[in-house]
Amino acid sequence: MASTINKTAHSFDKSRLDALLNRRFFYAPAFEIYGGVAGLYDYGPPGSSLQANIIAEWRKHFIIEEHMLELDTTIMTPAPVFETSGHVARFADWMVKDTKTGDVLRADHLVKNVLEARLAGHNEARGLAAAPPAEDKKKKKKAAKTAAVILPDEVVAEYESILAQLDNYSGADIGELCRKHKLRNPDTDNEVGEPQLFNLMFASSIGPTGQHPGFLRPETAQGHFLNFSRLLEFNNGRIPFASAQIGRSFRNEISPRAGLLRVREFTMAEIEHYVDPEDKKHERFDEVRNVKLVLLDRHVQEAGKNTTVEITVGEAVDKGIIANETLGYFVARIYLFLVKIGINPERLRFRQHMANEMAHYATDCWDAEIHNSTGWTECVGCADRAAYDLSVHSKKTGHPLVVRQALKEPIVTEKEVPEWSKKALGKTYKQDAAVIQNTVEEMDQEQLTTLKWQLAQGKAVIKSSDGKEFELTPEVLTIEHKTIKQSIREYTPNVIEPSFGLGRILYTLLEHSFWGREQDVERGVLSLPPVVAPTKVLIVPLSAREEFDPLVKEVYSKLRKAGVFSRVDDSNTSIGKRYARNDELGTPFGVTLDFASVQNRTMTIRERDTMDQRIGPIDEVIAVVTELVFGNITWDEACQRLPVYDGVQAVET
Amino acid sequence: MASTINKTAHSFDKSRLDALLNRRFFYAPAFEIYGGVAGLYDYGPPGSSLQANIIAEWRKHFIIEEHMLELDTTIMTPAPVFETSGHVARFADWMVKDTKTGDVLRADHLVKNVLEARLAGHNEARGLAAAPPAEDKKKKKKAAKTAAVILPDEVVAEYESILAQLDNYSGADIGELCRKHKLRNPDTDNEVGEPQLFNLMFASSIGPTGQHPGFLRPETAQGHFLNFSRLLEFNNGRIPFASAQIGRSFRNEISPRAGLLRVREFTMAEIEHYVDPEDKKHERFDEVRNVKLVLLDRHVQEAGKNTTVEITVGEAVDKGIIANETLGYFVARIYLFLVKIGINPERLRFRQHMANEMAHYATDCWDAEIHNSTGWTECVGCADRAAYDLSVHSKKTGHPLVVRQALKEPIVTEKEVPEWSKKALGKTYKQDAAVIQNTVEEMDQEQLTTLKWQLAQGKAVIKSSDGKEFELTPEVLTIEHKTIKQSIREYTPNVIEPSFGLGRILYTLLEHSFWGREQDVERGVLSLPPVVAPTKVLIVPLSAREEFDPLVKEVYSKLRKAGVFSRVDDSNTSIGKRYARNDELGTPFGVTLDFASVQNRTMTIRERDTMDQRIGPIDEVIAVVTELVFGNITWDEACQRLPVYDGVQAVET
């Protein structure tokens, strides 16, 4: 039997985790030897592997499993695309300037930091547990600056209400809050100016003449939308279907300070699922109907609360909490994916966006939020973008981004239709002809009926959108009653968009996986599931002596053939130290080759979390560890097949 | 036996290939509905898959096979990094402006296009086969503009010599060539101005204040170098080792017109292999010693020729044609990789850079050039960057990027060493103290010996680098003779860099794979090897009838379990049309499910290139196709196991 372990013997210590991630080069500040740049990070070998494994699992879970169409589109984007999509006007955050130093702060972060510090001071003064939610030193320092003062009950209630709906405020609202509550730059205690919008896109210029402004994409989505017609054709004109893309995006964050949780360059995985707006059912919804989710809906938040409910996705859709089956299907699939790669389901919730918070293109949005040492963090967004993007690009470019569907039975309608005498129109109205035509073409049936009656009287007066009046006669225009038979239905599909921030997922996964050995907190362990662990099996020869070489090569190549990625550690330190290093790297299994291996062809296997060691013939151990890595058996089942190892060679020292 | 096929019955037709790639959405101009942007492309589903498969094979062939350390570093780079690396000053191309229209052209491309057109005209006039080397229409049009004039022999020889060493010219040289040979903009026939340098990096600005200029990286290499210390530590301080990275890079090309062969945004795969400058042997060199390569060395080119030699890599290194074993090892490994993914080895050569052509950081460089319809194209560079990058970054930042190696026997040296009286130094010279100290510390042994003698006389005068003179006395400085025992050797490693342009490889692979059926040139085929083909197996049910569903699902899930990626095509067209579509997509095998499958559990399999069809029990066909996909057996061997199918259902119509 496996030994019992206690992963929560020590409370979570972010500084220990950060030290581990830095020491083992999971990731590090980019350009560190040049002093670094806030919000830019490089992934080292274990971080790159972890990210690659998360991506591989994502590709299986979504692209392969659901037959999505993969894309790889361009990052550098000409300005007109983001002018049309609305990003040039609206993809911005509110910033405030310190009135004396000129330092720039993100306005909503300022409100959050100051009010949270005041509430912490209040609790401290009242003698309540005053530990700030985050453990990092900067926050502690800031909190320490705020005097421990007891606040009146109504002030506490007001602060809590502000924090609950922080994402809902406009720039003017935040300016007002700063004045009313005397919110100052916590680093300098200076006042701050009026909030101003700062566009988060990085700008550049394409080509040698400097005449073609461009932006680095802040999301991969537009690359999907612009290719919609080609994708639809590739899918033989059928709908629903989804496109998927994994790639880099860029956001010029105002003052990023939260490690991988807020960065200026990041890898995203985005799905754009195209549906008939009149039928948002999903054919595989029944497969996820019973998945239980923790939800925080917009009404609760708008009331200044944060009470969650646990509910099946089926019930949530039935009750209208989640708007439709397709949105619900993806919310559930996101949940299943996150739990599969090792996110703790008890620290995962779905929060609905409030009305003012929603991105300019979305009609409904649920964020998968994962709890970590800084609080709840949005890691996946799942938005219903409706027909917004396809419509605006289509309108701007004149290229139809629509689905044309043959109707089983043609739809027959009767309606009033304007019939022009083009010649008379041009001759009579010259350059005004187009305006006149547009004005009439945009009229609804009721207006046309009125116009028809007026024309029947001999003349009619119409008013263009800019207020000009024109007199029309039956020589130029008549309105005819027609029967129209429509055999093709043409519509702009709606888009459901699950959008994953892979760096945020990777970081919260590391937090959820990290613990210290009960007997010694300094011995950190990352309990990453085999599916995402950078290395699955560590091969540890007792020493770097040549006699072990053939066995090391044999085990390595047999594991490789079985599809298991292993690494050899023949460095010149004790086996215990080599295992400890690999506990920090999250390597789930280790196999040791010693003199007994050479003589008897046996090998020991060690499980990372329990440190249990088992022994068996080399090929049997390879077979067992392969099944463990692929998740076909548990460690307890492995223990049924391999006896306990009680030798001395591989004892950890 | 497999039927014989003739893949070269029709000559290569680039316009047919382009039409196929566009129709099947391998890739398309990015932002096409906005009119497109030169040099930017989006990959559709088959292009994305092909690229992903090439990357997966690259990762196996290099990273896994050679235990490289993978990285994922940042694209957006602060300006000081590229100032130090030399890219701000020197990563540029020469451009010329049309003196009337202001159109911008790349200067060397102008020379090449005009001289090649004149030579084509000359050949035409002499009645030689005048087909221009490239088949695309633009070139034909340009060539047609150039009158068919017979040129004197010495002019022909001069043009050919210029073309052979085109990459060797400076901007002034090209300006001179334009004047001497009256080279004009071929689009307008206007003169062009003096060549000017244009930096190819995209510029941007990091953060909200606009005070931090940045560039998008033009290569991934700097991200490796800046992390060298961390990588070395991760590798337990041992050398040689390599880091590897696959990622996006950007170059603001002057006027890109060559499809995927010259783009402004591209995916690279780069290896930086760190070696001891005193030992560039490679421990696995013997494994590649006998690989035969076609080489074009720099001496041949500098003599205005392009004669290649075929030679083993072992011989090339022995003869000093390739500078060292490590460079030779990677050249051979690049060759093996390219051939494995389907590049025609007869259209692959390695060309050495000429002295002036070399990038500013390289000491030797060999390009893998792949022949295609536009000529020979550089697809992989393999450069010896020596210690250039690590040295400049180390010098700029003060952060040592070195290897420290314990010496088996310490090196004992005797030398003169300055000994300061720091107190007297500060007191006497105040703010000049640092300058004085630096000036002396930078002296060599000979200078120190002179200084020692002068000081022994009572005083010495030294001159700082900016020309100031200082008088020194023995109270401030003495020079001591010391015996120094060095037990650590510290050195800056050299870097061998194989650098792959994946888009160019992908495009040339598509050219090498494309042909038309002998009986009907319209029926295009892409003979992609299974290892990179977007889809390995197409599952074709006779019709979309429900009775086939369970079998389709069974075959799909059994193939998936065997690790074979298949797609189902149940669209409403004939089986022949479905196969024809998948010939264009490069799908190597198809299996057909019909009524016989339902009754007898048999299935037919079709091979793409021969169109041979075989039949067998479903599970046997799955086993055979799996072995085919993994390259364990050939189609001829498969034919031994499965009888010919002579039924009627799956006949191609």
Q: What is the pLDDT of residue B145?
A: 57
**With bands split at pLDDT 50, 70 and 90, how would you rate the model's confidence at A648?**
low
**Cβ-Cβ contacts under 8 Å, A231 against chain B:** 25, 44-45
What is the per-residue burial (b if ≥16 Cβ within 10 Å, else e) of A447-464? ebeebbeebeeeebebee
- CA dihedral sign, ordered A130, A131, A137, A142: negative
Q: What is the pLDDT of residue A129?
A: 58
Percentage of chain A exceeding pLDDT 90 = 71
B42 sits in which H/E element: strand B41-43
Q: Which of B591, B519, B600, B518 is nearest to B559 (CA)?
A: B591
Q: Does A52 touch chain B (CB under 8 A)?
A: yes
Q: ipTM value of the model?
A: 0.86
Residue B337 pLDDT > 90: yes
Residue A143 pLDDT > 80: no
Task: Please state which of the ranges A121-130, A337-346, A526-535 shows the lowest mean pLDDT.
Answer: A121-130
Length of chain A in terms of residues written: 653
What is the per-residue burial (b if ≥16 Cβ within 10 Å, else e) of A521-543? eebbbbbbbbbbbbbbbbbbbbe
Q: What is the pLDDT of residue B165?
A: 82
* Average pLDDT across chain A, whole number: 91
In angstroms, the separation between the Cα of residue A360 and the nearest Cα of chain B is 22
Which amino acid, one-letter code, is at B469? E
pTM equals: 0.87
Q: Mind listing the pLDDT tens digit for each residue in A281-330?
A: 999 999 999 999 999 999 888 888 889 999 999 999 999 999 999 999 99
Q: Mind listing the pLDDT tens digit for each residue in A26-72?
A: 999 999 999 999 999 999 999 999 999 999 999 999 999 999 999 99
Q: What is the pLDDT of residue A552?
A: 95
Residue A20 pLDDT > 60: yes
- Which of A507-511, B156-160, B174-178, B470-474 shows the highest mean pLDDT? A507-511
What residues are paired with B617 via a beta bridge? B602
Q: Which of A272, A220, A275, A221 is nearest to A242 (CA)?
A: A272
Over its C-alpha atoms, chain B yields an Rg (Å, rounded) of 31
Interface probe with B: pick from A22, A27, A42, A77, most Cβ of B within 10 Å:
A42
How far CA A385 is from CA of A206, A271, A325, A494, in Å, comes to: 29, 12, 15, 7
Count of Cβ atoms closer than 10 Å to residue B318 Cβ? 14
**With bands split at pLDDT 50, 70 and 90, how would you rate the model's confidence at B129?**
low
Residue B653 pLDDT > 80: no
Distance CA B41, CA B31 (A): 8
In angstroms, the separation between the Cα of residue A591 and the nearest Cα of chain B is 19
First to last CA, chain B: 23
Q: Which of B32, B26, B4, B130 is nearest to B514 (CA)?
A: B26
Length of chain B in terms of residues written: 653
Domains of chain A: residue spans and CATH = 14-84+211-388+496-500 (3.30.930.10), 92-199 (3.30.40.230), 407-491 (3.30.720.200), 535-641 (3.40.50.800)
Residue B341 pLDDT > 60: yes
Cβ pair A389, A460 in contact under 8 A: no
Q: Does B359 touch chain A (CB under 8 A)?
A: no
Q: What is the pLDDT of residue A260?
A: 94
In angstroms, the separation between the Cα of residue A226 and the nearest Cα of chain B is 6
The backbone torsions φ and ψ at residue B569, rounded to the nearest 5 degrees and listed phi first, read: -120, 95
Tell me whether strands B203-206 and B212-216 are parallel, antiparallel or unpaired.
antiparallel
Closest chain B CA to residue A67: B567
Q: What is the pLDDT of residue B147?
A: 74
Residue B650 pLDDT > 70: no
Q: Which of A25, A46, A50 is nearest to A341 (CA)?
A: A50
Among the partner residues A42, A205, A206, nearest to B73 by beta-carbon distance: A42
Report CB contact under 8 Å: A206, B37: yes
Distance CA A252, CA B214 (A): 12
Cβ pair B617, B555 in contact under 8 A: no
Q: Which of B18, B40, B133, B73 is nearest to B503 (CA)?
A: B40
Average pLDDT over residues B473-483: 91
Interface probe with B: pick from A20, A227, A584, A630, most Cβ of B within 10 Å:
A227
Among the partner residues A30, A76, A209, nearest to B74 by beta-carbon distance: A30
Distance CA B46, CA B375 (A): 26
Residue A411 pLDDT > 90: no
Distance CA A72, CA B45 (A): 8
Report CB contact under 8 Å: B34, A95: no
Q: What is the pLDDT of residue B3?
A: 54
Residue B302 pLDDT > 70: yes
**3-class SS of residue A76:** strand
Q: What is the pLDDT of residue A145?
A: 57
Distance CA A516, CA A528 (A): 14
**With bands split at pLDDT 50, 70 and 90, how would you rate the model's confidence at A521?**
confident
Q: What is the pLDDT of residue A550?
A: 93
Residue B630 pLDDT > 90: yes
How far CA A344 is from CA of A514, A527, A589, A631, A649, in Å, comes to: 12, 12, 21, 18, 36
Q: Which of A451, A84, A75 is nearest to B33 (CA)?
A: A84
Q: What is the DSSP letter of A4?
A: P
How far CA B512 is from CA of A362, A407, B17, B334, B555, in Å, comes to: 45, 44, 11, 17, 32
Q: Does B51 touch chain A (CB under 8 A)?
A: yes
Q: What is the pLDDT of residue B648?
A: 56
Average pLDDT over residues A589-616: 95
Q: What is the pLDDT of residue A540?
A: 95
Q: Mind listing the pLDDT tens digit for each residue in A211-235?
A: 899 999 999 999 999 999 999 999 9
Q: What is the DSSP letter of B560?
A: H
B591 sits in which H/E element: strand B589-593
Among the partner residues B45, B67, B214, nearest to A234 by beta-carbon distance: B45
Q: Which contacts of A566-572 are long-range, i.e. CB under 8 A and separated by 24 or more positions? A: A566/A535, A566/A536, A566/A537, A566/A538, A566/A539, A567/A535, A567/A537, A567/A538, A567/A539, A567/B67, A568/A538, A568/A539, A568/A540, A568/A541, A569/A538, A569/A539, A569/A540, A570/A540, A570/A541, A570/A543, A570/A544, A571/A544, A571/B236, A572/A544
Cβ pair A538, A588 in contact under 8 A: no
**Cβ-Cβ contacts under 8 Å, B252 against chain A:** 206-208
Cβ pair A391, A461 in contact under 8 A: no
How far CA B280 is from CA of A341, A622, B273, B275, B390, in Å, comes to: 42, 37, 11, 6, 17
Distance CA A543, CA A568 (A): 11
Residue A516 pLDDT > 90: yes
Closest chain B CA to residue A200: B208
A17 sits in which H/E element: helix A14-23
- Within 8 A by CB and 6+ apart from B53, the residues are B531, B532, B533, B534
Q: Does A1 touch chain B (CB under 8 A)?
A: no
Q: Which of A127, A178, A183 is nearest to A150 (CA)?
A: A127
Q: What is the pLDDT of residue A646?
A: 81
Distance CA A382, CA A224 (A): 16
- CA dihedral sign, ordered A237, A242, A247, A249: positive
Half-sphere exposure of A32 (CA within 13 A, CB side): 20
Q: Does A225 touch chain B (CB under 8 A)?
A: no
Average pLDDT over residues A518-540: 94
Among the partner residues A33, A78, A203, nearest to B31 by beta-carbon distance: A78
Average pLDDT over residues A544-567: 90
Q: What is the pLDDT of residue B349?
A: 97
Closest chain B CA to residue A103: B209
Q: What is the pLDDT of residue A368?
A: 98
Residue B438 pLDDT > 90: no
Report CB contact under 8 Å: B223, A42: yes
Cβ pair A603, A618 in contact under 8 A: yes
Interface probe with B: pick from A21, A32, A37, A209, most Cβ of B within 10 Å:
A37
**With bands split at pLDDT 50, 70 and 90, how would you rate the model's confidence at B408?**
confident
